[in-house]
A and B are shown apart, each in its own frame.
Chain A
Amino acid sequence: MPHPASSPPQSPRSVAIVGAGIVGMSAAHFLSRAGWQVTVYDAGAPASGATGSADGAVSIASKKPGPLMTLAVAAVRFYEHLTETGILGDEYLPRSTFVVASDQEELGVLERHASHLEASGVSIRLLKGAALTGAIGAAAPSAIAAVEVQGEGHAVGYRVVERLRRLGGFPIRRNCRVSGFNFSKGRIVGVVTEDGVEPTDAVLLATGLGSASFLSGLGPIRPRKGQLIVTDRAGADAPSFPGPLMSCRYLVSKGSQAAPGVTESRSLGLVIDPLRTGQFLIGGSREDRDDRETTDADVVATLLRDAVELAPSLAQLRVIRVFAGLRAATSDGLPIVGRVGGAENLWIATGFEGDGICLGPLMGRLCQQMICGEPVAHDISSLDAARFGLSLATAA
């Protein structure tokens, strides 16, 4: 183990992490473990962004084939690793995801997606007939087939953040919006907040949707709203849900698999997620809107109609809450992770759309490796900010 003191003398020692979502908090944890003096800034509180209003599928099942699917496989393994080493306690719950097809067209999409998953090394099981009803007691008779995607799981974003907060090692500045930076010789030397300027040797922007204000070329990051429904608890007598049920339509809504004629500004794809509490999280919408305060009955009723069609026993439960979150979407569906032009000690990790709970801890680790100048464990060249020509907005 290299002792911190043995690092090169010019190596930066303090790092400012802007954003206390799952990505920023993971990076903070690993950088602090690597001997850095970390300060986390958040305009609100930990998990007050997308991380606190998300579902927690740590899942490969819905990923777009390609780099995202490959990274998701690594991210799930990383959750397992963090569980084995005790860092995450029992926050990660391993379980399978079930993608269900209800008609022939969906079956076609399902089979195509299943072959991509297998090609990425994911173990899957095709369920039909008695095997289907045996595995998923709650599935409606109309389900014609399902793919069980094995070896993945669930983690609640805000709980992961709370776990990392409790492990500690760094201060969190709440209600402390970072408005800009001070520069010297092409480097950031200070973080500017309402409370003044604090010196720093390096900066990581893990600001989710807030990233746009730091970057010139606002274009690539757009809010994509998602509405989620929380039910009360199922009774002890409820039919079994071995894991989340995802309708094949969800893959289409997420853009993971194309379907003809889907170009709406709003799409609904169904996931019924049985939570550890016995409640269900039912989602979600993808809307090109940026208001997270409102939720609408139309979206909720549509999702619930689909949910009851897929799992009729849900009709016995009640909706106790509906909430919305904003995903930070990029135009090519991939996150932005790496260096940003404009300062040589600035890194960014944003644009995780609907995948940041899954990818967050791994990305935090990779950010730590980049910032420490260590070899980066996975190929993330396709996530480079350069593909959008992003650089730091100079006007602070």
Chain B
Amino acid sequence: MTRFHQTFSFDGTPVACTDNETIASALDRAGIRVLGPGQNDCAGRYFCGIGACQACVVSVDGTRMEACLTPARAGLFVQRIGSGAS
């Protein structure tokens, strides 16, 4: 059975995640589609799923990385790029 007993923080909001998924899929399940401010109205988002497009990059405990390659873990501090509290 899928377990959702753990959460990480995304821009201050708790997001539920399982043991074996990426940050990107947990955010998607939570209905969060905009992953960053992006450039000239091209907002950050999940796109290629394999770390190639760089559109899903978020700050994870202070380091920028692709949400689609990064395993979700309880207690992570995930932020959109530029969303403060740095």
Is B42 an interface residue when CB atoms closer than 8 A count as contact? no
Given contacts A235-B86, A316-B59, A317-B64, 11 further A-B contacts (CB under 8 A): A233-B81, A234-B82, A235-B59, A235-B81, A236-B82, A237-B82, A237-B85, A238-B86, A313-B86, A316-B64, A318-B64
A313 CB contacts on chain B under 8 angstroms: 86
Question: Is A232 part of the binding interface, using a Cβ–Cβ cutoff of 8 Å?
Answer: yes
Looking at chain B's contact residues, the main secondary structure is loop
Asked whether, in the complex, the Cβ of A233 is within 8 Å of the Cβ of B62, the reply is no
When C-beta atoms are compared, the residue in chain B nearest to A277 turns out to be B39
* A-B CB proximity, top 10 nearest: A235-B82, A236-B82, A237-B84, A235-B81, A237-B86, A318-B64, A237-B82, A316-B62, A316-B86, A237-B83
A236 touches B37 (CB 8 A): yes
Enumerate chain B residues within 8 angstroms of A237, measured Cβ to Cβ. Answer: 82-86
Interface residues, chain A, CB within 8 Å of chain B? 232-238, 313, 316-318
Q: Which residue of A lies closest to B81 (CB)?
A: A235
* Majority-rule SS of A interface residues: loop
The answer to whether A232 and B64 have CB atoms under 8 Å apart is yes
Q: Which residues of the partner chain B approach A318 to less than 8 Å between Cβ atoms?
A: 64
B13 interfacial by beta-carbon distance below 8 Å: no
Hey, what's the 0/1 contact readout for B48-86 against A, CB within 8 Å counting as 1? 000000000001001110000000000000000111111
Q: How far is the CA of A233 from the CA of B81 in the complex (A)?
A: 9
- Closest A residue to B63 by beta carbon equals A316
A227 to B81, CA, bound (A): 27
Chain B residues within 8 Å of A232, by CB: 64
- In angstroms, Cα B52 to Cα A269, docked, is 33
Across-interface contacts of B59 in A (CB, < 8 A): 235, 316
Which of B37, B39, B83, B86 has the most chain A CB within a 10 Å cutoff? B86
A232 to B39, CA, bound (A): 11
Binary CB contact string for chain B from 13 to 49 against chain A (1 if under 8 A, 0 otherwise): 0000000000000000000000001010000000000
A316 to B84, CA, bound (A): 12
A132 to B57, CA, bound (A): 33
Q: Which residue of the partner chain B has the closest CB to A237?
A: B84
The answer to whether B63 touches A235, judged by C-beta atoms less than 8 angstroms apart, is no
Give CA–CA (A385, B33) in the complex, Å: 63
